[in-house]
Amino acid sequence: MDPVTLATTATSLLLPYIAKAGKLTLDKLSEEMPETVGKLWSAVSKRFEAKPAAAEAATDLVKNPGDMDNQEVFTMQLKKALKEDEEFAKLLTGLVEEAKNDSSISIGGDGAVANKNSVAVNKFQADGNTGSISIGNKSGSS
């Protein structure tokens, strides 16, 4: 997966759980997520610790996950980290694939829905445009 797609997919998987968890501290957040998503958050937050701008982006996202600017900055910092570190990119690719294959992950509403090899995102904004995006395999569609 290229860094842009991977960063976008990872953010879309994390956002609903961050929003649902409320204002927990960064280190406690992964405890409130399903195991696969929690591993993803732990990897991202650990990587962001050494980078002040990235750590601030993660903190801002946790404080206000519905803010599109926070989402965009977080995704940008994640994309930057993925481009800088091939091992981190491989780790995140594996964790995203694991989450996409976890049939226990299902979120309704405006968040991601991940079950049986699919990830769907509703109300995602990129470059000022709002729409829906679907990444992965979706049975019954071509």
What mean pLDDT value characterizes the chain? Answer: 75
SS3 assignment, position 120: strand
The burial class, CB within 10 Å (0-12 / 13-18 / 19+), for 129 is exposed
The pLDDT tens digits of the residues spanning 107-137 come to 444 444 444 344 444 444 445 545 544 444 4
84: tokens are: 């800088």
38: tokens are: 């929690």
Q: Is pLDDT larger for residue 1 or for residue 61?
A: 61
Distance, CA of 5 to CA of 75 (rounded, Å): 10
The pLDDT tens digits of the residues spanning 43-53 come to 998 999 989 99
The pLDDT tens digits of the residues spanning 84-101 come to 999 999 999 999 988 877
> Number of C-alpha atoms within 13 angstroms, CB side, residue 50?
5
